[in-house]
Amino acid sequence: MTISDVARNDWYPVAIENLLIEGQPETVVLMGETLTILRAADDQIKVTAADGSECPLTLRYGHVWSSIGRPEHALFDIPEAAEEGRRMVDCGPVRVKASPLRVVENFLDIAHFPFVHTDILGAEPHTEVEPYKVEIRDTVDEVWATKVRFFQPQAAKSAEEGQMTDYMYRVPAPCVSILYKTSPPRPGAWDVIGLFVRPISEELCDAYAWMALYDEDSNQTDLVQFQQMIFLQDRSILENQIPRLLPLDPKMEIPTRADTTSVAYRRWLKRKGMTYGAQLVAR
Amino acid sequence: MYGLLKLMNAGLTENDQGSDGWVPVVLSADLPVAGVMRAQIDATQPLDLVVWRSRSGQVSAFDNRCPHRGMRLSFGFVRGERLSCIYHGWQYGEDGACRHIPAHPDMTPPASIGANTYLCREYDGVIWISQNADNPPDLPTFGGQGLRSLSVNRDEADLRKLLAETCIPLSGAGETAPAEASIIAENQTSLVLESTTEAASLQLMIHFQKVTPGKTMLHIQTNPDLPVDLRISLSRWAERFRWSAENMGTMVNSWDASAGEMRP
Ligand code: FES
Ligand SMILES: [Fe+2]
């Protein structure tokens, strides 16, 4: 299959930066192409394609980012990453047998919390999704969902009891989603959780979670384990959605008001021509 | 019983399983109240279905795909008379209509939202599925008791041939040698295997479900009120039958009961 330019010329996570050991190359597959990532003796990191050519490289948010094409833009910015007092935690990757776009869409969804993350991120009877605001911000070409509120029995590792939690979602690139949620120790501030997805094929991907939290107490292992447990619950859903590819034909699936973010995301993908991992017409 | 089978033939169409005919998908006893299972049927259009039983005992079958976001409904759970999808909890009634969307608890779901449904009937200890609304099943009563279901990696036609050559045990725990059996009645979905000696007589009714190409599910019933040890022997016989069918392609009828399972 031919991979559209929008998909080719974007940045994708290929490794966790501080897990790269000097002199030990790692290979990953990005949209069918094998890339080798090496930290050389001079501490320089390099990404090479199968034919030996050097690939674009950006080191940011704890990850090594690369491309099989020629990105015309810099990697998206997460301003919060530079804020003082935040702990950065990498907790990926998790392999998922699903379209990378399904993985991102699931990350944007709150209505599943009581059923998939029962008693952690949601619990019956608190299932209602109140109206929230979704927009495609044309100036930055991003999807944003704001004023999202949902009841959570245990919103984060540091949360002890149930509370209404505020969220914002941001999609700065087709395979990336960033979530902002009320920080339990600092109710006025946002915890930031990023989901960076590397498409291996249209129906297989590696998802890296990255967090920038105000949490001084929880230990690193617990934070990673909490995030992984949540994501493994999502994976059991993602690997059982039919079709595997994300349908962009509005007749294929039935959204309600709670799915406004998903509707905007799909529309945005279609408009961009991002069809890698998507199904355009119902088969 | 032969007469019954002929009658049973009359209730079925000449068409393939999964198109117009009735297809057996599970023994009643294996789908308890609030049970949810997946059933696949190999037909011109292969079917992937969810079959479930409500609290009151009603059975239903839908496409195994939630119309909301495509989640397999066979991962769902039963609440009262409804099947609930595991992803966002949308609830479907036995007619497939969506009755409740938890994200909007006060909204009545539009009538247009529903799962794709199939005819589903429970008859004489077996649950049957059909796609054709004009042709209700008209099956006679065998009055049998479910033994077990068994998935075998062979085509149905091969299995029917092999069953004609099989010997089945007539007593428990290898007390007597298995006796020759013959097919006394047969139709598109099922056959009856009978073995009679002076001491005993036994009937097995076997229903065939084409699952995927080369894979067949056998749903086996026996005549009622067999002693437990005979039921155990018959269940082992079924496993040996599967082993023979998958590995030998021919019936291996002799075995040493004391040697236990006949496996490679
Ligand atoms: S996919 Fe079934 S309720 Fe959302
Ligand atoms: Fe989730």
pLDDT computed for residue A158 by the predictor: 63
How do beta strands B201-212 and B215-222 pair?
Answer: antiparallel
CA distance B151 to chain A (A): 22
* Residue B104 touches partner A, C-beta closer than 8 Å: yes
Contacts of A227 (CB under 8 A, 6+ apart): A89, A91, A193, A209, A211
If you average pLDDT over residues A158-185, what whole number do you get?
89
Q: Rounded to the nearest 5°, which phi and psi values hold at B54?
A: -75, 175
Annotation: CATH topology of A5-66? N-terminal domain of TfIIb (2.20.25)
Does A99 have pLDDT greater than 90? yes
> Domain residue spans in chain A?
5-66, 82-279
Ligand 1 mutation target, pool B66, B72, B98, B99, most atoms within 8 A of CB? B66
| Chain region(s) in chain B for CATH 2.102.10.10 | 19-130
What's the CA-to-centroid distance between B71 and ligand 1, angstroms?
6
Backbone torsion region of residue A121, taken as left when φ is above 0, otherwise alpha when ψ lies between -120 and 50, otherwise beta? alpha
Which residue in B72, B89, B102 is closest to A240 by CB distance?
B72
Q: How confident is the model at residue A135 (pLDDT cuts 50, 70, 90)?
A: very high
Radius of gyration of chain A (CA): 19
> How many angstroms from the chain centroid is the CA of residue B181?
22
- Centre of ligand 2 to C-alpha A229, Å, is 10
Mean pLDDT value of segment A5-28: 97
Contact assignment for A116 to B86 by CB distance below 8 Å = yes
* Greater pLDDT, B201 or A37: A37
Give me the mean pLDDT over the A134-138 stretch. 97
| pLDDT at residue B191, as a whole number | 92
Average pLDDT rounded to a whole number, residues A84-97: 93
Burial class (CB in 10 A: 0-12, 13-18, 19+), B264: exposed
pLDDT, mean over chain A:
94
CATH architecture of B145-262: 2-Layer Sandwich (3.30)
Nearest to B71 among A128, A240, A247 (CB): A240
Q: What would the two tokens of residue A122 be?
A: 């949601």
Suggest the residue from B69, B87, B107 to mutate for an interface test with chain A (most A CBs closer than 10 A). Answer: B69
Query: Tokens representing A60?
Result: 């940011």
Average pLDDT in the A181-189 region? Answer: 85
Nearest CA to ligand 1 atom 1: B69
Nearest alpha carbon to residue A255 among B84, B90, B78:
B90
Topology given in CATH for the domain delimited by B19-130: Rieske Iron-sulfur Protein (2.102.10)
The type of residue at B81 is E
Q: Report DSSP state, residue A257.
A: G
Rounded percentage of chain A residues whose pLDDT exceeds 70: 97
Residue with tokens 């934070």: A223
Contact flag A254-B86 (C-beta cutoff 8 Å): no
| pLDDT of res. B80 | 98
Does the structure show a pLDDT above 70 at A160? no
Strands A278-279 and A246-247: parallel
**What residue ranges of chain B have pLDDT lower than 50?**
1-19, 256-264
- CA atoms of B85 and A157, how far apart (whole Å): 28
Contacts of A98 in chain B (CB under 8 A): none
Which part of chain B has CATH 3.30.530?
145-262
How does residue A200 score in pLDDT terms, banded at 50, 70 and 90? Answer: very high
Ligand 1 site, CB within 6 A: B 66, 68-69, 71, 85, 87-88, 90
Angle between helix axes A100-107 and A260-272 (nearest 10 degrees) is 140
Q: Which residue has the tokens 């490289």?
A: A57
The class that CATH gives domain A82-279 is alpha beta
Question: Residue A107: nearest ligand to its CA?
Answer: 2
Closest of A149, A243, A250, A153 to residue A203, by C-alpha: A243
Provide CB contacts within 8 A for B186, sequence distance 6+: B5, B160, B192
